[in-house]
Amino acid sequence: MTESRRAVLVTGGSRGIGAAVAREFAALGDRVAVHYGSSPDAARATLASLAGDGHLIVQADLRDPVAVKSMVDEAAAALGGIDVLVNNAGVFFPHPIEACTYEEWQQAWRDTIDINLIGAANAAWCALQHMPRGGSARIVNVGSRGAFRGEPDSPAYGASKAALGAFGQSIAKSLGALGIAVTTLAPGFVDTDMAAASLAGEGGDAIRAQSPFNRVPSAEEVAKAVVFLASPEAEWASGGILDFNGASYLRM
């Protein structure tokens, strides 16, 4: 495969950041497999919005390891391999420890970890079986600033994203010898339909004010950062976690 015609799998690609990522890769001439979990109509709409040809949609509940392998294998068969995996799919369930039942607490942790962390790890293992060696393959994980600042309303989310970053660093050490670079992007709030309720009204003003730019990024801005991390020029960023939050949260 040439660099101008890469095979790209984007998990959670039916909406928001994932859909924007799929469109950015397609605009470069790449062929994209758009994964979705439970929104086939949104996935079809994203597919229809992609420039070029050779794209497809694939489905899997990321909590099911068998379904994950089947989905990745289907994408690889259709695309002729996988050059880039973007682990974008994620869920956020409110479950503050002081205000939820024990049953709600357990369910939120199970679903969040299974999708945000274990599902991503399984997708990476499965994608690796189809990746070329020698410097062109990339894995980009979409993490969160919540991994570092904490998520009191959804502690499982913060923990899953912190673990996702550590996972990315671990496999970056393993896969570098194969010429495969692994990075993690850690955005804050992003202007998507998923965040619309949080960004509305006075609460939204307070969120935007967290950044000295007094705004949140578009999904397209985040997508451009993902595409850069997947590029040949970003190989030396392997193992890195790139904060992408407009200085709304700073860490040493």
What are the catalytic residues? Answer: 157
Q: Which residues contact 48 (CB under 8 A, 6 or more apart)?
A: none
Q: Which residues contact 28 (CB under 8 A, 6 or more apart)?
A: 4, 227
Asked if 14 and 88 count as a contact pair (C-beta separation under 8 A), the reply is: no
DSSP code of residue 236? G
Question: Of the candidates 141, 149, 145, 199, which has an alpha carbon nearest to the alpha carbon of residue 170?
Answer: 141
Residues 6 or more apart whose Cβ sits within 8 Å of residue 2: none
Please name the helix (run of DSSP H) or strand (run of DSSP E) that holds residue 243, with its range, or none: strand 241-244
**What are the distances in angstroms from CA 80 to CA 1, 26, 132, 231?**
9, 16, 11, 19
Phi, psi of 36 (to 5 degrees): -140, 160
What is Dmax (Cα atoms) for the chain?
A: 53
